[in-house]
Amino acid sequence: MCSLPVPREPLRRVAVTGGTHGNEMSGVYLARHWLQAPAELQRLSFSAVPVLANPAATAACRRYVDHDLNRAFTSSFLNSRPTPDDPYEVTRARELNQLLGPKASGRAFDFVLDLHNTTANMGTCLIAKSSHEVFAMHLCRHLQLQYPELSCQVFLCQRSGEESYNLDSVAKNGLALELGPQPQGVLRADIFSRMRTLVATVLDFIELFNQGTAFPAFEMEAYRPVGVMDFPRTDAGNLAGTVHPQLQDRDFQPLQPGAPIFQMFSGEDLLYDGESTVYPVFINEAAYYEKGIAFVQTEKFTFTVPAMPVLNPAPSPAS
């Protein structure tokens, strides 16, 4: 099992994107603030660029206008010929691909950090593609060590054989911060402040790396998806029940076979009939009702992350 190439040069081109979903307010307000006052995104060896990823959805305070932007970064969407009828977000994804990519090319940004909120009780969740992303894994480890009180959980979202579709996949390295619970359209001070602090620490890590800091090998525990569970539905496709009180808010906690997962409107409990323990995440996320997902089932696993090769220190600060 091999890892993907680690950066061999300092990371110079870094972006922080907010408002990829226009109603996830921490990133929206941070992006807007930094577009006016970018000083806090500057470091000695680089400056991160703030980007408001989905302006139209942000203006309307909706997740998206036509199509989920964070599902629009596949080569099929990015490389097909533009037509006048293209959904807003497909056109926007191509623009962002020009700005921050092109995806999988040598010209792409070195690193993109994408900011999200969830209505699920996921606390501080760090979302990366896979365990092979050595740089991202060291970054996650750094965040976990800096903020032990936050219990940052690492979720590795890419399923094998599947192409990446999310915004931060356009860059050479990427990470998403997923903070919750926060309702759509609501800006909570505590979550906003935590997001801001985490962004600063991500940029500090990149600076440490650029300055030639050594990062030794370590063991990492993470969660990867093994399936999804939809809500119980009527023949017409309407909800017939909702997440059981004993599962609600228990993201990242073990779910055993036989435990209740749904409560029907008529009162009965539906039990989990899988064969092994899973760790549900995105439990009762508002935006996933239409995707047919009541929660995502994950498995917990541990793997070794190799040491990151030390850079020669950056010769001079970026201007």
Partner 1 sequence: MTSCHIAEEPIKKVAIFGGTHGNELTGVFLVKHWLENGAEIQRTGLEVKPFITNPRAVKKCTRYIDCDLNRIFDLENLGKKMSEDLPYEVRRAQEIYHLFGPKDGEDSYDIIFDLHNTTSNMGCTLILEDSRNNFLIQMFHYIKTSLAPLPCYVYLIEHPSLKYATTRSIAKYPVGIEVGPQPQGVLRADILDQMRKMIKHALDFIHHFNEGKEFPPCAIEVYKIIEKVDYPRDENGEIAAVIHPNLQDQDWKPLHPGDPMFLTLDGKTMPLGGDCIVYPVFVNEAAYYEKKEAFAKTTKLMLNAKSIRCSVH
24 in a labelled binding site? yes
CB 38 within 8 A of CB 31: no
* The only residue of 73, 109, 165, 192 in contact with partner 1, by rule CB under 8 A: 192
Q: Which of 9, 89, 149, 178 is catalytic?
A: 178
Q: Which x/- pattern over 86-115 shows residues binding partner 1 (rule: CB under 8 A)?
A: ------------------------------
Quick check: is 299 catalytic? Answer: no
Window contacting partner 1 (CB under 8 A); options: 2-10, 81-89, 178-186, 307-315: 178-186
Q: What are the CA-CA distances from residue 41 to residues 38, 195, 206 (Å)? A: 6, 13, 12
Nearest to 19 by CA among 71, 63, 77, 68: 63
Binding of partner 1 by 177 (CB under 8 A): no
- Which is closer to partner 1, CB of 265 or CB of 301? 265
The angle that helices 134-146 and 189-210 make with each other, rounded to 10 degrees, is 120
Non-local (6+) Cβ contacts of 49 within 8 A are 13, 14, 15, 16, 38, 41
Options 290, 312, 315, 316; binder of partner 1; rule CB under 8 A: 290
Does position 183 bind partner 1 by CB under 8 A? yes
Interaction mask 54-83, partner 1, x per CB under 8 A: -------x----------------------
Residue 224, helix vs strand vs coil: strand
Residue 245: cis peptide before it, omega within 30 degrees of 0: no
Binding of partner 1 by 242 (CB under 8 A)? yes
Residue among 169 and 182 whose Cβ is closer to partner 1: 182
- Amino acid letter, 114: D
The helix-helix angle for 189-210 and 25-36 (nearest 10°) equals 60
Measured distance CA(227)–CA(210) in Å, rounded: 38
Could you say which of 186, 208, 226, 259 contacts partner 1 (CB under 8 A)? 186
312 in contact with partner 1 (CB under 8 A):
no
Token output for 73: 């970064």
- Positions marked active-site: 178
Using CB under 8 A as the criterion, which residues of the chain lie in contact with partner 1 when the complex forms?
A: 29, 32-33, 61, 119, 181-190, 192-193, 238-239, 242-245, 248, 263, 265-266, 284-287, 289-290
Binding-site residues for Zn(2+) sit at: 21, 24, 116
